[in-house]
């Protein structure tokens, strides 16, 4: 499957010859592939850069060396004590007051250096993901909004939010307080994490008990956990599956490799089904085809008003 990357659409009236029969254009002009099976999302084999998605190991990714250095720093510094400190500090929600849409616009200033598949402003990724899901799941408006907001926690990179280093904001996430599973990307760098030598934290269960539920597990600190805290503490009415997606969408060792499942409870297993749905859009919708922001804004603002207060504490 090939995604058109050269054709930008700002008018909903599309010339038939410019869009293939196996593609669909959404409100914002974003072209998404239509699956040949059950009319679902058909994931492409390569990203818009011409490489395999999440290409961290081969030399094919020009950004591979920088990404590997990012994970070296992340794996060394993301300790159980560090995570508890960050959750306490940012759980105060005293950095700013603004609406969800204002935060979407603020995210235009952010580029995620850990992502080898993306070099566009973050708001485009949010809308690309949301629009692709909206096409295939038109009745699940909570999922559309979850897609829009899932990366808003990346504002932690901005000076107004403390200007945290990239390794404390983005990248794959993992539990802290227990053994670092070998499924974690660039696992070799955990050898220099102090928790690796702490008998309290370096066993399979660590400080947790089997089946305790992921809500009771400390995850490596970053935009996922921060946005989860913001949504939860500001009283969102999103279903629990939405909060689950927000907190664990970067938890690739779980939803790609199938590790750490011994920490899950029954509710986690149900929510994981929605995370698997979401993840293929989060990963494979990254494209050079830009969404017309102003055209889709009214729809997403209506969802924000439905599920969130007008102003949130961040």
Closest CA to 107 of 89, 124, 92, 86: 124
pLDDT of residue 20: 37
228 — phi, psi (to 5°)? Answer: -60, -45
pLDDT in tens, 44-85: 444 333 444 445 455 545 667 888 999 999 999 999 999 999
Query: Does 220 belong to an annotated binding site?
Result: no
pLDDT tens, position by position, 230-261: 999 999 999 999 999 999 999 999 999 999 99
The response to whether 141 counts as a known ligand-binding position is no
114 is in an annotated binding site: yes
Residue 198 · residue 152 · CB < 8 Å: no
CA–CA gap between residue 266 and residue 213 (Å, rounded): 8
pLDDT band at 172 (very low <50, low <70, confident <90, very high): very high
Q: What is the pLDDT of residue 111?
A: 65
> Does 218 score more than 80 pLDDT?
yes
Count of Cβ atoms closer than 10 Å to residue 267 Cβ? 14
3-state secondary structure string across the chain: CCCCCCCCCCCCCCCHHHCCCCEEECCCCCEEEECCCCCCECCCCECCCCCECCCCCCCCCCCHHHHHHHHHHHHHHCCHHHHHHHHHHHCCCCCCEECHHHHHHHHHHCCCCCCCCCCCCHHHHHHHHHHHHHHHCCCCHHHHHHHHHCCHHHHHHCHHHCCCCHHHCCCCCCECCCCCCCCCCCHHHHHHCHHHHCCCCCCCCCCCCCCCCHHHCCECCCHHHHHHHHHHHCCCCCCHHHHHHHHHCCCHHHHCCCCCHHHCCHHHHHHHHHHHHHHHHHHHCCCCCCCCHHHHHHHHHHHHHHHCCCCEEC
Mean pLDDT, residues 3-19 = 29
Q: Report whether 88 belongs to an annotated binding site.
A: no
CB-CB neighbours of 213 under 10 Å: 14
pLDDT, tens only, 113-158: 655 555 567 788 899 999 999 999 999 999 999 999 999 999 999 9
117 is in an annotated binding site: no
**15 annotated among ligand-binding-site residues:** no
| Residue 267 marked in a binding site | no
112 is in an annotated binding site: yes
The pLDDT of residue 15 = 32
75 is in an annotated binding site: no
The region of weakest confidence among 11-25, 30-44, 162-176, 295-309 is: 11-25
pLDDT over 90 (residue 25):
no
Answer with the residue of higher pLDDT: 39 or 167.
167
- 90 confidence band (pLDDT: 50, 70, 90): very high
The closest of 145, 135, 170 to 156, measured between CA atoms, is 170
Closest CA to 131 of 116, 148, 117: 148
250 is in an annotated binding site: yes
Q: Look at residue 17 in the predicted model and tell me its pLDDT.
A: 28
The tens digit of pLDDT for each residue in 225-234 reads 999 999 999 9
pLDDT at 228 (0 to 100): 98
pLDDT band with cut points at 50, 70 and 90 for residue 110 = confident
282 labeled part of a ligand binding site: yes
Top pLDDT among 14 and 313 is at: 313
**Residue 151 labeled ligand binder:** yes
Mean pLDDT value of segment 171-191: 97
pLDDT tops 90 at residue 211? yes
What confidence tier does 38 reach under pLDDT thresholds 50, 70, 90? very low
pLDDT averaged over the chain? 83
Residues 261-302 have pLDDT tens digits of 999 999 999 999 999 999 999 876 656 778 999 999 999 999
Backbone φ and ψ of 183, nearest 5°:
-70, -15
Q: Which residues contact 107 (CB under 8 A, 6 or more apart)?
A: 121, 122, 123, 126, 151, 152, 154, 155
| pLDDT for 259 | 98
Residue 100: pLDDT above 90? yes
Q: What is the pLDDT of residue 46?
A: 42
pLDDT at 113: 62
């Amino acid at each position: 499957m090939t995604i058109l990357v050269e054709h930008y659409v700002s008018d909903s009236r599309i010339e038939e010859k410019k869009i293939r029969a196996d593609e669909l254009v959404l409100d914002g002009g974003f072209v998404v592939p239509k699956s040949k099976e059950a009319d679902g999302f058909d994931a492409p084999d390569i990203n818009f850069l011409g490489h395999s998605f999440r290409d961290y190991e081969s030399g094919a990714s020009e950004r591979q060396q920088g990404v590997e250095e990012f994970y070296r720093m992340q794996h060394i510094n993301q300790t159980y004590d560090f995570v508890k400190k960050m959750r306490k500090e940012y759980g105060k929600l005293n950095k700013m007051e603004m609406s969800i849409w204002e935060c979407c616009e603020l995210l235009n200033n952010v580029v995620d250096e850990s992502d080898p598949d993306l070099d566009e402003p973050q708001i485009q990724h949010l809308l690309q993901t949301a629009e692709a899901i909206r096409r295939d799941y038109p009745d699940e408006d909570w999922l559309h909004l979850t897609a829009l907001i899932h990366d808003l926690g990346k504002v932690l990179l901005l000076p107004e939010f403390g200007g945290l280093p990239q390794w404390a904001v983005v990248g794959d996430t993992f539990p802290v307080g227990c053994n670092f599973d070998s499924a974690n990307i660039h696992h070799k760098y955990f050898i220099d994490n102090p928790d690796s030598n702490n008998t309290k934290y370096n066993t399979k269960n660590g400080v947790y008990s089997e089946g305790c539920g992921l809500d009771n597990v400390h995850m490596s600190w970053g935009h996922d956990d921060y946005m989860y805290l913001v949504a939860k503490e500001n009283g969102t009415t999103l279903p629990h599956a939405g909060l689950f997606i927000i907190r664990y969408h970067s938890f690739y060792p779980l939803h790609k490799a199938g590790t750490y499942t011994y920490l899950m409870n029954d509710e986690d297993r149900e929510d994981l089904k929605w995370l698997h749905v979401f993840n293929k859009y989060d990963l494979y919708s990254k494209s050079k085809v830009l969404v017309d922001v102003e055209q889709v804004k009214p729809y997403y603002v209506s969802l924000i008003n439905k599920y969130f207060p007008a102003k949130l504490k961040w």
